[in-house]
A and B are shown apart, each in its own frame.
Chain A
Amino acid sequence: MNVRALLNAPATARKGDIVEIRATVQHPMETGFRPGADGRVLPRNLVRRVECQFEGQTVFAADLHPSISANPYLAFSMRAVATGTLVVTWVGDEGFKHSESARIGVT
């Protein structure tokens, strides 16, 4: 299945501005505690870590746990210092890995 993700960052910003980054990824976030229709516990399937890098430098990271909803949505802010590419990477159980990138033009 192809992974669906949303990454929203302003296309342009003024140098020194604080900009908001919003990231959503489609993921079941199965806790590992719930029984399925057949009564057996569904295996845990979580996004374990979200990392955001701006031109190779980590600007935000979070560890996710079973209480986070499906399709987790995260918003955070960063200071725009230079033009560059933002890459958000979601890594999880069962070999899950997905990246989205967005370019921020700083003037």
Chain B
Amino acid sequence: MRPRAGRAGPGLAMALMLVISAAFMAALTPAWASGKDTRRSGFEDMGRSTQALQLDDTQNPAWLWVNDGQRRFKADCASCHADGGAHSLRGAAARYPSYDVQLNKPLTLDQRINQCRVRHVQAAPLAAESDDLLALSAYVALQSRGVPVQPDPDPRSQPHRERGAQLYARRMGQLDFSCAQCHDQNAGGRLAGAVIPQAHPTAYPIYRLEWQGMGSLQRRLRNCMTGVRAEPFAYDSDEFMQLELHLKQRAAGMRSESPGVRP
């Protein structure tokens, strides 16, 4: 039997409208913007065995890259960035992307590592997403494990961060989805069998079981973009740097957990 709206009267209809619009507003407001911090790392949505893989350094497969990064770091970087020294990289990865005066724009950690190689080590830059660069960035990110994410305070980064926020909210691709529609409005729901995470980039670079290998945040973002049938931005494009600035702002204060493992 169909309920007839006419019987309910205007009072009930109004109340229903209020409830519906309240639910709609709640859906539009990102979870982390409300008073209590409801942000959660994707770590918390993983199965127990995957969590165990990340928590135990002797099981975490990312250590294949970390060990290699440590070897490279000792050879090329440690003469300036000795642990405990003035240029120690403890906590550095948690502050990236960070404004670079010479290039007059913020740089991601990977871009900064390559700039450091070109300017100070007089070595060739490493290819984006290569195992060599992932190894170095995994080792540098490990120096910030446990450190809260700190967005770059430089005011010159702000316009880029705002552009990133626009990109995050912009619908794209044949499926016409924005990042926000899944990761703000439907986070915690399911996409097929997988929980939709809140998209806090606290564990990159990650060892992703699906990739059977290591990958950067940009590889993950390109994954999402092809998922909505959009043409992915290029590696090291300004768009990815700006998106990362915005994502780090959303995740400000959350604990870095690199190198993470994700399913």
Tell me if B67 and A24 are in contact (CB < 8 A). no
Mark the stretch among B16-24, B27-35, B57-65, B239-247 that contacts chain A: B57-65
CB distance from B212 to the nearest CB of A (A): 4
Tell me if A22 and B58 are in contact (CB < 8 A). yes
CB distance from B56 to the nearest CB of A (A): 9
Tell me if A4 and B67 are in contact (CB < 8 A). yes
* Binary interface encoding of chain A residues 66-104 relative to chain B, with 1 for a CB under 8 A from any of its CBs, else 0: 000111010100000000000000000000000000000
Check: B189 CB closer than 8 A to any chain A CB: no
Check: B68 CB closer than 8 A to any chain A CB: yes
Check: B213 CB closer than 8 A to any chain A CB: yes
CB distance from B124 to the nearest CB of A (A): 18
In Å, the complex CA distance between A75 and B67 comes to 19
CB distance from B112 to the nearest CB of A (A): 24
Check: A12 CB closer than 8 A to any chain B CB: no
* Binary interface encoding of chain B residues 55-79 relative to chain A, with 1 for a CB under 8 A from any of its CBs, else 0: 0001101011101100000000000
CB distance from A29 to the nearest CB of B (A): 8
Contacts across chains A and B counted by CB atoms under 8 Å: 28
Contacts A6-B63, A26-B64; A70 near B212 (Cβ below 8 A): yes
Tell me if B64 and A24 are in contact (CB < 8 A). yes
Partner of A70, one of B65, B68, B213: B213
CB distance from B13 to the nearest CB of A (A): 57
A residues 9-48 in Cβ contact with B at 8 Å: 22, 24, 26, 29
CB distance from B57 to the nearest CB of A (A): 9
Chain B interface, DSSP helix/strand/loop, else mixed: mixed
Tell me if A73 and B59 are in contact (CB < 8 A). yes
Partner of B213, one of A5, A24, A71: A71
Tell me if A71 and B58 are in contact (CB < 8 A). no
Query: Which size bracket describes the interface of A in this complex?
Result: 10 to 19
In Å, the complex CA distance between A5 and B213 comes to 14
Contacts of B67 in A (CB 8 A): 4, 6
CB distance from B75 to the nearest CB of A (A): 13
Contacts of A71 in B (CB 8 A): 61, 64, 212-213
| Beta-carbon nearest neighbor of A2 in chain B | B68
B residues 54-107 in Cβ contact with A at 8 Å: 58-59, 61, 63-65, 67-68
Contacts of A70 in B (CB 8 A): 212-213
In Å, the complex CA distance between A54 and B200 comes to 45
Check: A8 CB closer than 8 A to any chain B CB: yes
Contacts A70-B213, A71-B213; A24 near B61 (Cβ below 8 A): yes
CB pairs A–B below 8 angstroms (9 shown): A4-B64, A4-B68, A6-B63, A8-B58, A22-B58, A24-B61, A24-B63, A69-B209, A73-B61
Can you name 20 extra interface pairs (CB under 8 A) apart from A4-B65, A26-B64? A4-B64, A4-B67, A5-B64, A6-B58, A6-B63, A6-B67, A22-B58, A22-B59, A24-B61, A24-B64, A29-B212, A69-B212, A70-B212, A70-B213, A71-B61, A71-B64, A71-B212, A73-B59, A73-B61, A75-B59
Residues of B within 8 A of A (CB): 58-59, 61, 63-65, 67-68, 209, 212-213
